[in-house]
Structure 1
């Protein structure tokens, strides 16, 4: 188990190193001068040069990368030149919206997909299976931003059960915050639930065809008992892969949904940083999101080893 853990930690560290290099280089080669963008086309050359010096744009590329990466390792993500506050403050304030939204959507996606996938597998070829497959195909095909607008039209404008957007803040109360996140979470969750349900169905059906399941059936277990006692746990391994990817997607890919619902989360912060050429905000927030993605995948690998001990021996 120790060798397995050390191998995964080494992979995590290398992934973070490569990701930081890619993020820094990609943002560095974006056309245009951030200082000129911030001061305007008619800026005084001396003021422009002073801002470039303040932003560190005159330093060599390796020096700028090491300063940025070293600062992040020390917990210093720099100062936003647009908002004039430390990036950490912006991230913490926005994280209290994006993280609950992501967890809420993941909970909804899992709660819908796993029982639906099990029902479809248990009734393979029957009407319930056909209905589930048709619904999940539709859920995958419909873009989540279009689905979000339908939710706003129905539940916010017609029925007036929810607000059309915005976030009142957690100080307004827990349920007020959850209510404001419900429509965005549903819009994010349903397409992901469609993917997860199809994976769950395929994984259960594949597991039910294994020899040990046939042996369990031969010993007198019903199909439902064999599925619940033996097939379900082994079918979870590919499902957990999708869950890890979904968390990453929901956290890092909610830019459109946060803009549709006017939620001041990390996705909206990245969008504003790009439009305002606030590269230190973009670099730092994207790196944090990549870090979250890599750590989640690392935890998924550990969960694999907990579910299937054979993976620990292979490592």
Structure 2
């Protein structure tokens, strides 16, 4: 319980810092939402009236205090452009972004774990070099470029999968998954490399342990040794990286959702930036920070649960 309370305190500080920095950065962006709402042919008096109605003429710190107290009490404000409730809009779009991130992470793990085990079992072999070369080429290409290439091959040339669009789960499982496969794969092609290289390095070290030699002496198969004895102790660092990858996936979804026409939070954020809708921008970034902090908190808890030495060491150091 002490360990969890200390983690919660640190995460609360991170969230407070993120909200402050986000608010200050958004307020120094070029452009003015009042001009966007008033239109090109509006007079200066009309613009000033809109600014007063929106409260944009008040000091920055006063507006920040009103906004952050609203965030912590459940009132995330309303969009300047369409007057929609920001929290309800984000909650409505979050399942779409979450599904994309989840599929991407599952694809990355499905590629990284077998590849990492193969490379660790025979380091510097031909298979290790081939997989390493593929991983290097994969991580060198940004996700938006991978997305464009995947659209070209699988949508335009082969016609197997749609290039854009989204179908809710209520339309059927395959109807829902079909337009999500290419965008998820675009993100996974970048993320799997880091997981694979981390697992490879950890497993090479674990395979040198005495209990692995004992398992081999007992006649256990290589598959059973790798999967049953070496995978779990080799996964601790990879588990930590999974938490850190949440930030990369959140950033990747902003571009990928725009390319593939997916109605998630990333696309909402892009639209808010174009329309200078500051309240929506602040809400999206704060929500991203909340998801990232929550994911890393869960990873921390899981890491300490899997390896009690970590929990005891952190408690002893305060």
Indicate whether the TM-score tops 0.5: yes
Residue equivalent to 1:278: 277
Query: Residue by residue, what CA displacement relative to the aligned partner does 1:274-296 show, whole Å, maximum 9, x if unpaired?
Result: 11100100000110001100110
Give the Cα–Cα distance (whole angstroms) in 2 for the partners of residues 210 and 201 of structure 1. 15
Within-5 A mapping of 1:126-275: 126-210=125-209, 213=212, 225-275=224-274
Residue equivalent to 2:12: 13
Give the Cα–Cα distance (whole angstroms) in 1 for the partners of residues 117 and 235 of structure 2. 11
Q: Does the Cα contact within 8 Å between 1:104 and 1:185 map onto a contact in 2?
A: yes
TM-score, scaled to structure 1: 0.93
Query: Residue by residue, what CA displacement relative to the aligned partner does 1:71-129 show, whole Å, maximum 9, x if unpaired?
Result: 11122111112222111232123213111111111111111111111111112121111
Query: Residue by residue, what CA displacement relative to the aligned partner does 1:115-165 show, whole Å, maximum 9, x if unpaired?
Result: 111111112121111111111111101222121111111111122111110
Residue equivalent to 1:293: 292
CA RMSD of aligned residues (A): 2.0
Q: Does the Cα contact within 8 Å between 1:204 and 1:231 map onto a contact in 2?
A: yes
Q: Does the Cα contact within 8 Å between 1:38 and 1:277 map onto a contact in 2?
A: no
Query: Residue by residue, what CA displacement relative to the aligned partner does 1:45-84 show, whole Å, maximum 9, x if unpaired?
Result: 3322221122221222222111111111122111112222
Gaps of 5+ in 2: none
Query: Residue by residue, what CA displacement relative to the aligned partner does 1:217-259 show, whole Å, maximum 9, x if unpaired?
Result: 5677666554434332121111011111223321343121111
Between 203-212 and 260-269, report the one with greater CA deviation.
Answer: 203-212
Between 85-94 and 34-43, report the one with greater CA deviation.
Answer: 34-43
Query: Residue by residue, what CA displacement relative to the aligned partner does 1:7-27 show, whole Å, maximum 9, x if unpaired?
Result: 111111111111111111111
Query: Residue by residue, what CA displacement relative to the aligned partner does 1:155-185 show, whole Å, maximum 9, x if unpaired?
Result: 1112211111011334433321111111111
Give the Cα–Cα distance (whole angstroms) in 2 for the partners of residues 253 and 55 of structure 1. 32
Give the Cα–Cα distance (whole angstroms) in 2 for the partners of residues 219 and 3 of structure 1. 42
Give the Cα–Cα distance (whole angstroms) in 2 for the partners of residues 64 and 103 of structure 1. 35
TM-score, scaled to structure 2: 0.92
Q: Between Structure 1 and Structure 2, how many residues are aligned?
A: 314
Gaps of 5+ in 1: none
SS in 1 for 2:235: helix
Q: How far does residue 43 in structure 1 lie from its aligned partner after superposition?
A: 2.1
